Each structure stands twice: as C-alpha cells, then as structure tokens.
Amino acid sequence: MRKSFYHFLMNYRHPAPKDEISLFANAAFLDVAFPKSADDYHELSSYLELNGHYLDSMTVFDEAWQLYLSSENKI
C-alpha cells in the first residue's frame, strides 16, 4: 500500500525551512483542506492551482511529486 503524497511531503517539514519543498511542506501542514489522502497527480495539482496560494510556483509541487514517485518506485 502506497502512502499519500501528503504523508510523504511531511518528511520535509522543518521548523527552519531551508528550501522551497520544506516551505511547501510547512504550508501544506497548515492547510486544513489539503487533500491528505490523495496520491493522484491531477487531483493534487488541481487543488493547488485553485488553493495553493502559498506556492510561489507549481514547479515546487512538480519537484516534490518527482521525489514522491522516486520514493514509491513509480518511475
């Protein structure tokens, strides 16, 4: 059973974020509506395009998604 993207992203939470993915993880943690059980790229990207005001660029999500896929051996 694969873990959700949110569960994966929480590995990058940090009290003093040093990169964009850590900033994303911290913001997603505070986003009570974030789709925490999702593991589908389109569902997550649609949500973030409409509600991810905390992302400077969707490129950050794309980079995190690639790390997620690598960690789940999906690519």
Q: Residue 1: its pLDDT value, please?
A: 55
Position 36: which residue type? K
Q: Residue 17: its pLDDT value, please?
A: 86
**Alpha-helical segments (H) within the chain:** 5-9, 20-30, 41-51, 58-71
Mean pLDDT of 56-60: 95
Dihedral class, residue 73 (left if φ above 0, else alpha if ψ from -120 to 50, else beta): left
Task: Quick: pLDDT tens for 21-39.
Answer: 999 999 999 999 999 999 9
* pLDDT beyond 80 at 74: no
